[in-house]
Amino acid sequence: MKFILGASLLAATVSALPSPAPPAAAAPGQPRKFTIRQDFLATANKIIPVVVGGPQDTYAPNVVTAAVGDIVQFQFSNGNHTVTQSAAEAACQPLQATVATGVHSGHIPFVDGQTEVGTFNMPVTSTDTMFLYCATGPHCQEGQVMVINPTDDQQIVDYVKASQSTTASVDGTAVVGGTVGTIPLAEAAFVPAPAEEAAPPAAAPPAAAPPAAAPAEPAAEPAEPAAPETTPPPAPADPAAPEPPTTTITITVPPV
């Protein structure tokens, strides 16, 4: 009885402490628990991956909602692409030409066999809507654009249409608004498309050998027409024979 009473008093003392009172030391053999603060989770910054390029020239996703403090991590897949900011009304044109803070990642390639993935980590410093495009070749005209923090669902649609109506893109210059880096391919948000098989096309020609065998069969058929060929020779032989006789006749006449 004394032991039970003592334990009750200890428990009452602990619960009366003003501090957060972490669960009293776990009894030997009991699991140790910890708690995630829900208020912290609600405000924690996030890393938001966006896959750039691949078999198609795209951003995936092409619409992102991000809070100040989040980091949009662009991960560059197959091809050679950029993340370049434009004004809403100037698709495929670098904002940094007129605003020094206009974002530009520079051109970041990815080829088959790479084990590292190029990244551009862009901290979100404002919830203002951002319009981004790829400045490589005709990618912007092909619709490789995206919007961060759109005010409505129509903005990405209008921005894609605007980009497709342009005739050429203008490249950015300096890397601005983020940090270029790499991550292991195993940690990337994408699995690269299988490499194109260059060998099969080369092997295909050898497969043309069968066609060679096919011609062999037709060759056997011509053997039959060979017989008709023997008949033509006799024909020319006939005309040759009559000619010699006529010449000899004219020669014998003069002497007489």
Q: Would you tell me which residues interact with Cu ion (CB under 5 A)? A: 57, 81, 134, 136, 139, 144
Nearer Cβ to Cu ion, position 81 or 95? 81
Smallest gap, in angstroms, from Cβ of residue 82 to Cu ion? 7
SS3 199: helix
Short-list 157, 167, 108, 113, CA closest to 131 = 157
Smallest gap, in angstroms, from Cβ of residue 38 to Cu ion? 40
Smallest gap, in angstroms, from Cβ of residue 152 to Cu ion? 26
Beta strands in the chain (DSSP E): 47-52, 59-60, 63-64, 71-76, 79-81, 84-86, 108-110, 116-123, 130-133, 145-148, 179-184
Nearer Cβ to Cu ion, position 78 or 96? 78
Nearer Cβ to Cu ion, position 75 or 144? 144
Nearer Cβ to Cu ion, position 70 or 136? 136
Smallest gap, in angstroms, from Cβ of residue 136 to Cu ion? 4
Nearer Cβ to Cu ion, position 143 or 150? 143
Q: Which residue is nearest to Cu ion (CB)?
A: 134
SS3 140: coil
Q: What is the DSSP letter of 224?
A: T
Smallest gap, in angstroms, from Cβ of residue 25 to Cu ion? 58
Sign for the CA dihedral angle at 197, 136, 63, 124 comes to positive
Smallest gap, in angstroms, from Cβ of residue 215 to Cu ion? 48
- The tokens for 139 are 């990618």
Residue type, 79: G
Nearer Cβ to Cu ion, position 70 or 172? 172
Sign for the CA dihedral angle at 60, 61, 63, 68 comes to negative
Helix crossing, 209-220 with 199-207: angle to 10°?
Answer: 10
* Euclidean distance between CA atoms 12 and 218, whole angstroms: 105
